């Protein structure tokens, strides 16, 4: 039965041509999971279907009307609370819960579940006033490639601006102290609320990469712990080059102008670990309060990220969440949705959540706004489910009347009245009410995997080999070839010890890899696996240092 579903769903990857296949899906019969006291990502009752909801953003009080409309549509879950620290804590240490109590009570009354977010992605104005050094300037652009004279990072002392979100120093102790308090207050207050099924910690967290006094100190401490003596990094990074040996730890210069690929790769991994540690720290706090049946998740912006260690982050979560947005109308292409789903599912090798996806048009400006054609929204829901999602939530319920995202429209438009999208959501909700229990907890047993190496992507970005191609473009090329063949892959991180469960392993440029990683692939091939390795693989070791010997990967001929 499962096989049959998979087969059909794989055909569906070309559904822009064969959308009727959805119907076939609907008549399959799935495994009905039982509710358990302890949450498990693959033991959910049914597909959850809902929206992010910000009653605090509304131009006037419409809680009752909104919940009635949701209930009428058949929405079963909403995400609340993650965006508005200053509503939770208007003044330093003065917390307000009544506004959310009212929302959760009303939702509960309507039988709608809630995912409660920690509101840490944007700090309140009073905290900025007290500690402006919490913020760092974040210009949102990747360091320029191949222009090594250019300072690739903003100088440490650039003051941060208030206004953007997610531009704080994760290691700033004042930020941590205030973040911890607001998390404890919120989760402690609402943990027993019957509507709350889980928690989202932070939101699309990503490193700033900006050197600060705290990150610089922590980086030095990391080096001391990891490499014991400066002599070690002198050796493995080759600091003798251009006469840049560090005789004492204190002599090591900060990240700002560094060109050394080994240093840069270590810094990048340090940035990964900052985010992982930060989310683990939030998860640990929430874990002190949450009920066993509640989960902790965190939402990745859709797809594969080279500036995060997504597998490490996932280990701190009960269930992974993805925010896959997509193009619409004639540009609708399931490839990005599938890639995001395959990644989300692979991170814990089980089912995952979709916490955000298009309701109507998206974008921070209205230059590329194309409302979806009738039916496209429904088609996309079943695509998510086919990849293993156990929930689909739109961002968001209503359209905003102020702020940066007035063009990023919700299920309701600015007039806040039911519309075509609302009708399509209602139709899908009604279908899921019926077949959700059969589609939930879908299992995959893929035989092809793509080996992902963030280190290789980053190390290659310091030493690019083309203006037209890079690590990610080759990964996407490999993924696209599988997609065209209707073959669903898993993603495995470089260093994963379980390669043997796959028949074929695709390896985008494995530019930076330890001997151990190369040995794993060699063993995999020796044991009958088929590996397709891209150019530049094995070029450097885990410190981005070029090898002076050529390692031989075992060859297996079929």
Three-state secondary structure call for residue 391 = strand
Between residues 413 and 441, which has the closer beta carbon with respect to a copy of itself? 413
Measure the CA angle with vertex 74, ends 286 and 72; round to 5°.
120
Q: Does 122 bind a copy of itself (CB under 8 A)?
A: yes
Q: Which of residues 92-121 bind a copy of itself (CB under 8 A)?
A: 119, 121
Task: Please count the residues of this chain forming the interface with a copy of itself, following the rule CB under 8 A.
Answer: 96
Measure the CA angle with vertex 319, ends 316 and 325; round to 5°.
115
Rounded to a whole number of angstroms, the minimum distance from the CB of residue 164 to a copy of itself is 6
Rounded to a whole number of angstroms, the minimum distance from the CB of residue 364 to a copy of itself is 6
Distance CA 54, CA 50 (A): 13
Between residues 139 and 500, which has the closer beta carbon with respect to a copy of itself? 139
Between residues 85 and 395, which has the closer beta carbon with respect to a copy of itself? 85
Q: Does 547 bind a copy of itself (CB under 8 A)?
A: yes
Q: Does 430 bind a copy of itself (CB under 8 A)?
A: no
Q: Does 301 bind a copy of itself (CB under 8 A)?
A: no
Which two tokens mark 147?
Answer: 């222009």
Q: Does 124 bind a copy of itself (CB under 8 A)?
A: yes
Query: Angle of helix 63-73 relative to helix 420-439, nearest 10 degrees?
Result: 60
Stretch that binds a copy of itself, among 29-37, 375-383, 487-495, 548-556 (CB under 8 A): 548-556
In terms of Cα–Cα distance, which of 112, 157, 109 is closest to 136?
157
Q: Does 157 bind a copy of itself (CB under 8 A)?
A: yes
User: What sign does the CA torsion over 296, 298, 302, 306 have?
Assistant: negative
Q: Which of residues 455-474 bind a copy of itself (CB under 8 A)?
A: 463-467
Site string for a copy of itself, 229-268 (x = CB under 8 A): --------xxxxxxxxxxxx-xxxxx-xxxxxxx------
Stretch that binds a copy of itself, among 221-229, 308-316, 343-351, 358-366 (CB under 8 A): 358-366
Q: Does 410 bind a copy of itself (CB under 8 A)?
A: no
Stretch that binds a copy of itself, among 34-42, 133-141, 329-337, 346-354 (CB under 8 A): 133-141
Between residues 8 and 121, which has the closer beta carbon with respect to a copy of itself? 121
Between residues 346 and 421, which has the closer beta carbon with respect to a copy of itself? 421
Between residues 537 and 545, which has the closer beta carbon with respect to a copy of itself? 545
Beta strand spans in 65-107 (E)? 77-80, 89-91, 94-95
Distance CA 36, CA 38 (A): 5
- Count of beta carbons in the 10 Å neighbourhood of residue 316: 18
Between residues 3 and 415, which has the closer beta carbon with respect to a copy of itself? 415
User: Contact 279/201 with Cβ under 8 angstroms?
Assistant: yes
The DSSP-derived string for 154-197 is --TTPBPPSSSSS-B-TT-HHHHHHHHHHHHHHHHHHTT-TTEE
Rounded to a whole number of angstroms, the minimum distance from the CB of residue 274 to a copy of itself is 19
Rounded to a whole number of angstroms, the minimum distance from the CB of residue 363 to a copy of itself is 9
Three-state secondary structure call for residue 131 = coil
Q: Which helix (H) or strand (E) holds 21?
A: helix 21-27
Distance CA 75, CA 47 (A): 11
Q: Which of residues 276-295 bind a copy of itself (CB under 8 A)?
A: none
Q: Does 160 bind a copy of itself (CB under 8 A)?
A: yes
Which two tokens mark 397?
Answer: 């319920």
Site string for a copy of itself, 309-328 (x = CB under 8 A): --------------------
Between residues 119 and 207, which has the closer beta carbon with respect to a copy of itself? 119
Rounded to a whole number of angstroms, the minimum distance from the CB of residue 452 to a copy of itself is 22
Q: Which long-range contacts (CB under 8 A, 24 or more apart) does 372-377 make?
A: 372/328, 372/329, 372/332, 373/328, 373/329, 373/332, 374/420, 374/424, 375/19, 375/424, 376/328, 376/329, 376/332, 377/421, 377/424, 377/425, 377/428
Between residues 157 and 497, which has the closer beta carbon with respect to a copy of itself? 157
Rounded to a whole number of angstroms, the minimum distance from the CB of residue 218 to a copy of itself is 19
């Amino acid at each position: 039965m499962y096989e049959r579903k998979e087969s059909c769903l794989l055909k569906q990857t070309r559904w822009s041509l064969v959308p009727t296949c959805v119907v076939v899906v609907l008549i399959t019969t799935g495994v009905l999971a039982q509710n358990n006291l302890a949450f498990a990502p693959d033991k959910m009752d049914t597909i959850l279907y809902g929206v992010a909801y910000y009653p605090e953003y509304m131009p006037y009080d419409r809680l009752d009307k909104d919940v009635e409309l949701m209930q009428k549509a058949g929405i079963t879950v909403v995400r609340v609370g993650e965006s508005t620290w200053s509503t939770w804590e208007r003044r330093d240490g003065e917390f307000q819960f009544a506004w959310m109590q009212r929302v959760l009570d009303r939702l509960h009354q309507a039988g709608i579940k809630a995912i409660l977010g920690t509101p840490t992605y944007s700090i309140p104005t009073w905290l900025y006033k007290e500690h402006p050094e919490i913020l760092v300037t974040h210009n949102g652009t990747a360091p320029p490639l191949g222009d090594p004279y250019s300072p690739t990072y903003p100088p440490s002392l650039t003051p941060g601006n208030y206004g953007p979100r997610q531009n704080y120093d994760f290691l700033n102790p004042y930020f941590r102290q205030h973040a911890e308090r607001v998390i404890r207050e919120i989760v402690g207050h609402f943990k027993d609320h019957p509507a709350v099924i889980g928690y989202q910690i932070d939101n699309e967290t990503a490193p700033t990469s900006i050197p600060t006094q705290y990150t610089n100190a922590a980086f030095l401490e990391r080096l001391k712990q990891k490499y014991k003596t400066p002599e070690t990094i002198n050796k493995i990074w080759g600091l003798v080059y251009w006469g840049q040996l560090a005789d004492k730890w204190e002599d090591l210069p900060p990240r700002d102008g560094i060109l050394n690929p080994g240093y840069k790769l270590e810094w990048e991994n340090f940035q990964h670990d900052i985010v992982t540690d930060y989310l683990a720290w939030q998860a640990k706090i929430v874990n002190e309060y949450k009920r066993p049946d509640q989960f902790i998740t965190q939402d990745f912006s859709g797809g594969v990220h080279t500036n995060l260690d997504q597998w490490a982050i996932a280990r701190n979560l009960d269930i992974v969440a993805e925010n896959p947005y997509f193009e619409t109308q004639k540009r609708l292409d399931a490839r990005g949705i599938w890639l995001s789903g395959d990644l989300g599912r692979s991170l814990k090798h089980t089912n995952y959540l979709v916490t955000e996806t298009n309701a109507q048009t998206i974008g921070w400006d209205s230059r590329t706004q194309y409302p979806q054609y009738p039916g496209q929204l429904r088609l996309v829901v079943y695509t998510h489910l086919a990849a293993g999602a156990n929930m689909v939530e739109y961002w968001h319920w209503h359209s905003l009347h102020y702020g940066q995202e007035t063009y990023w429209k919700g299920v309701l438009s600015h007039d806040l009245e039911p519309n075509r999208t609302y009708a399509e959501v209602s139709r899908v909700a009604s279908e899921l009410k019926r077949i959700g229990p059969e589609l939930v907890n879908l299992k995959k047993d893929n035989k092809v995997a793509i080996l992902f190496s963030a280190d290789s992507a980053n190390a290659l970005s310091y030493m690019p080999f083309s203006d037209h191609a890079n690590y990610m473009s080759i990964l996407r090329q490999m993924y696209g070839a599988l997609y065209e063949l209707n073959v669903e892959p898993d993603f495995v991180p470089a260093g994963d010890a379980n390669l043997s469960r796959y028949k074929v392993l695709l390896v985008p440029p494995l530019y930076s890899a330890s001997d151990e990683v190369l040995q794993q692939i060699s063993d995999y091939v020796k044991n009958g696996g088929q590996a397709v390795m891209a150019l530049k693989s094995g070029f450097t070791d885990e410190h981005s240092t070029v090898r002076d010997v050529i390692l031989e990967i075992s060859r297996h001929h079929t």
